[in-house]
Structure 1
Amino acid sequence: MQLDPFAPALVPAGEFSEHDRASVYRAIETRRDVRDQFLPDPLPDDLVSRLLGAAHAAPSVGFMQPWNFIVIRDPKVRQAAWQAFSRANKEAAEMFEEERRDMYRSLKLEGIRKAPLSICVTCDPDRAGPVVIGRTHNPRTDVYSTVCAVQNLWLAARAEGIGVGWVSIFHDADIRELLGIPERIEIVAWLCVGYVDQLYHAPELAVKGWRQRLPLEELVFCDRWGSQ
């Protein structure tokens, strides 16, 4: 889309209406990492396009827009990804202390086979060239920007009644080979996406007693580290 050269560069900021503001906060507060509540119904193409559009509207340092999105519908590809997850998940279970191991094994940590759609989000560190505004002294800002795209997609999905689950338990090489991702491209997230009719009232790991949300007041400092 070409920008109108005669359009004003700035538009009024202004706050949202009370209703719109409440909707934004509701999406943030009720967003969940969905693992086992996916319905099998396929997602319409126009809906998937809206979610990807929301992701692409994310902020990025130096406007580098380093993300790519691999949309995966093929059950065979998703089955192979699940096998990669399953192998890594068995390894992960052994990393926990014995008293936590059984609880870990009882948790449902992915929805790759159940969700009708997966999206692999990647980061291209070369997208904006070797020198990028804002990345000159922190090379990881390209990945941080890509995570903003993931969050945008997640919040848009919540507004659409769509569940999203982030799978991170796999060996990078397995997914790279499965999807033909070049070595220079970083894999950031494997997202399971699908309709849901129920969500946990709080994060699932909190509901199941794995870990609770920390009090905000313990995490906010004033002017310097540790000063409250």
Structure 2
Amino acid sequence: MDELLTWRRDVRYFRTDPLPDPLLDRLRARMQLSPSVGNARPWRVIRVDSADKRAEIINSFESCNSAAANAYAARERQKYLTLKLAGLREAPVHLAVFTDLSVEEGKGLGRQTMPEMLSYSTVMAIHTLWLAARAENIGVGWVSILDPIAVAETLEAPPAWSLTGYLCLGYPEATSDTPLLHENGWQENTATQWEVR
């Protein structure tokens, strides 16, 4: 178990080899085993295969990434611009994972006081998919530098669907047990403590 969690790293360098359909079917089935609040299962996944739609996603990333870089002071901005923060051009599989905020399943159980539990359930599904992918030697990269509204419009998602994660999947060029941002000197991997009160 520790080995799986250690090798779960966010991947940004992918080989372009396609992923076989039976493997993607296994990942989809394992994702469905995720826990969710009230058994609502609110995650909705769009596989983005269209070259035109991918190009729009990449444009969104590049625009948002440029704006993010400008939020840093000059020295950190230069370092930021050297980081590879997405594998959008190389990854053979793109998955846009949404949370259906209007889901009727579960009848509201467990989310009357914490409606954000729907989105948390989708995050759990993403994590389950991530571990299942790594068990198959598939890398996953979570792209968070995107305009979620623009992505939803590009993919023609229903209005009640909120983008929770945009994932790149593929065979990694290399594997490492050290986070990429640590390797590139952005921030070291530090442990957090549990507080007792």
TM-score by length of 2: 0.95
Query: Which residue of structure 1 lines up, in the alignment, with residue 67 of structure 2?
Result: 91
* Alignment partners' CA distance in 2, 1:129 and 1:66: 8
**In structure 1, what residue type is equivalent to 2:26?**
R
* Alignment partners' CA distance in 2, 1:28 and 1:130: 30
SS in 2 for 1:212: coil
Higher relative contact order (CA 8 A, sep 6+): 2
- Aligned-residue offset at 1:131: 4.7
Query: Which residue of structure 2 lines up, in the alignment, with residue 178 of structure 1?
Result: 154
* Alignment partners' CA distance in 2, 1:116 and 1:41: 7
* Alignment partners' CA distance in 2, 1:144 and 1:210: 27
Q: How does 1:66-81 map to 2 (within 5 A)?
A: 66-81=42-57
Corresponding residue to 2:20 among 18, 33, 44: 44
Corresponding residue to 2:171 among 174, 187, 195: 195
1:159 and 2:128 are equivalent in the alignment: no
**In structure 1, what residue type is equivalent to 2:96?**
C
SS in 1 for 2:114: coil
RMSD: 1.4
- Aligned-residue offset at 1:74: 2.4
Contiguous gaps of at least 5 residues in structure 2: none
- Identical-residue share of aligned pairs (%): 37
* Alignment partners' CA distance in 1, 2:100 and 2:178: 34
Query: Which residue of structure 2 lines up, in the alignment, with residue 10 of structure 1?
Result: none
Corresponding residue to 2:180 among 204, 208, 218: 204
* Alignment partners' CA distance in 1, 2:105 and 2:92: 36
* Alignment partners' CA distance in 1, 2:173 and 2:60: 28
SS in 1 for 2:98: strand
Which range moves more in the overlay, 176-185 or 158-167? 176-185
User: Does structure 2 conserve the Cα–Cα contact (< 8 Å) formed by 1:79 and 1:112?
Assistant: no
User: Does structure 2 conserve the Cα–Cα contact (< 8 Å) formed by 1:75 and 1:113?
Assistant: no
Query: Which residue of structure 1 lines up, in the alignment, with residue 12 of structure 2?
Result: 35
SS in 1 for 2:56: helix
Call closer, same or farther: CA 1:173–1:156 in 2, change over 3 Å: same
Corresponding residue to 2:32 among 32, 40, 56: 56
Point out the structure with max Rg over C-alpha: 1
Aligned residues: 197
* Alignment partners' CA distance in 2, 1:166 and 1:111: 9
